[in-house]
Amino acid sequence: MSSRPGPLDHFYTVILAGGRGTRFWPQSRARRPKQFLNVLGQESLLQQTLARLRPIAPPQRTWILTNQSLRKQVLRQLPDVPPRQVIAEPVQRNTAPAIALAAHLLQQQDPDAVMGVFPSDHVIGKPATFHRILRRGAKAALGGHLVVLGIRPKWPETGYGYIEFPAGTSARSATPQPVVRFREKPRRAAARRYLDAGNFYWNSGMFLWQARTILREIERFLPATADALSQLRPLNSRQFSASLRRHYAACDNISIDYGVLERADKMAGLPCPDFGWNDVGSWEAVYQLLPKDKRRNVLRSPVQLLSADGNYVDSDKLVALVGVQDLIVVDTPDALLIARRQDSQKVADLVKEFEVGGLTGLL
């Protein structure tokens, strides 16, 4: 019951929910990307993200960045978030402008705003640990740092960027560390070196900082974006949407990592203890996250099995499997996917082929 100011007093969560997500085809589509799917449990990944962040910041202090075609779905799935805080980017411009826009609007509301930036489509298995990490990160953010959460690698992943910390860095301390360097998605051999070295962490895409700090960096490194934002009318004015449509396209089309973080000098990385993070990057990840039957099957449909092991099955109708192993089977009203589990990353390639082939009805 202390009235001493805490690190979360001016804390806002910003959830990035504009992603397309092709790796969950045929359930994910351009108009129904991964964050809206109930691939795990009864709620969508977006709803789970909001619920997880509630103890840190209530929906009244939650902002969602999304795009025009997805905004209605966000409002439907997250009725507790004030609709004016669900912002639709008029055009796709990567993460730097989206985060800059959120920072700009928060700064107008609360000059002392501290913001946490979160993807909308990850899962976190240990929320209590996560909350402790965020409190620690928020403190560092209040000290003027740009804080990025680092995740201790469990395998030599080539699909993520890495944060290089000083040699000897340990997640035990869980205190912010200087970032030696950001490393782009490595090749296999480099990923193996990073894993062995111990001071390389996965870049989680989760960030904490004061709105004013990130805005200063954006002014410095992305002046076109800063200039576009300066043209916006206030959020509560009638002209806000029109001004956003007019100026947002002039923003730099660049990620926050490339556009700002790799060049900023106020970076602090937080080498996190394990908080059960998973970016649910493929059907294989969904399979791994869900409970299995005795024959290692994950069955989300009525099924009849005959010598079938290690399969993931999701359909509205009965699926009979005879003698098949380690398959992903996802059945929807207009498309059916059957993939080897080990090939589930390739589903994104499939969707690219639909694009190339002009099969836009399937996107």
Q: Could you tell me which of 46, 38, 45, 48 has the C-alpha nearest to residue 65? A: 46
By CB under 8 A, tell whether 356 contacts its own copies.
Answer: no
Contact with its own copies (CB under 8 A) among 4, 318, 358, 360: 318
Three-state secondary structure call for residue 264: coil
Which residue blocks in 198-239 are alpha helix, DSSP H?
Answer: 211-221, 223-230
Instruction: Write the DSSP symbol of residue 249.
Output: G
Closer Cβ to its own copies, 224 or 362, answer by number: 362
Subset of residues 221 to 240 that bind its own copies, contact rule: CB under 8 A: none
Residue 36 to residue 51: CA distance in whole angstroms: 14
Chain length of the chain: 363
Pick one of 168, 291, 323, 358: the residue that binds its own copies (CB under 8 A). 323
The answer to whether 157 and 187 have CB atoms below 8 angstroms apart is no
Total of chain residues touching its own copies, rule CB under 8 A: 36
Residue 72 amino acid letter: K
For residue 87, give every residue at least 6 positions away whose Cβ sits within 8 Å of its Cβ, in sequence order, or none. 63, 64, 65, 66, 101, 102, 105, 244
Minimum separation from the CB atom of position 21 to its own copies (A): 16
Per CB under 8 A, 203 contacts its own copies: no
C-alpha 11: how far from chain center: 19
Of 268, 290, 23, whose CA–CA distance to 159 is shortest?
23
Among the listed residues 189, 237, 338, 355, the single contact to its own copies using CB under 8 A: 338
Q: Which of 79, 168, 291, 333 binds its own copies (CB under 8 A)?
A: 333
Least separation, in Å, of the C-beta of 312 and its own copies? 12
Q: Which of 319, 355, 360, 363 binds its own copies (CB under 8 A)?
A: 319
Nearer to its own copies, 246 or 341 (CB): 341
Binding of its own copies by 309 (CB under 8 A): no
- The answer to the question of residue 25 lying near its own copies (CB under 8 A) is yes
DSSP state letter for 32? B
- Least distance from C-beta 281 to its own copies, angstroms? 15
Residue type, 262: E
Nearest Cα residue to 92 out of 251, 214, 219, 207:
251
Q: Which stretch binds its own copies (CB under 8 A): 148-156, 212-220, 249-257, 339-347?
A: 339-347
Interface with its own copies includes 331 (CB under 8 A)?
A: yes
The answer to the question of residue 293 lying near its own copies (CB under 8 A) is no
The reply to whether 346 sits near its own copies by the rule CB under 8 A is: yes
Q: Does residue 353 belong to the site contacting its own copies (CB under 8 A)?
A: yes
HSE-up of residue 132 (Cα within 13 Å, Cβ side): 12
Q: Which residues bind its own copies (CB under 8 A)?
A: 25-26, 304, 306-307, 315, 317-324, 327, 329, 331, 333-340, 342-344, 346-347, 349-350, 353-354, 359, 362
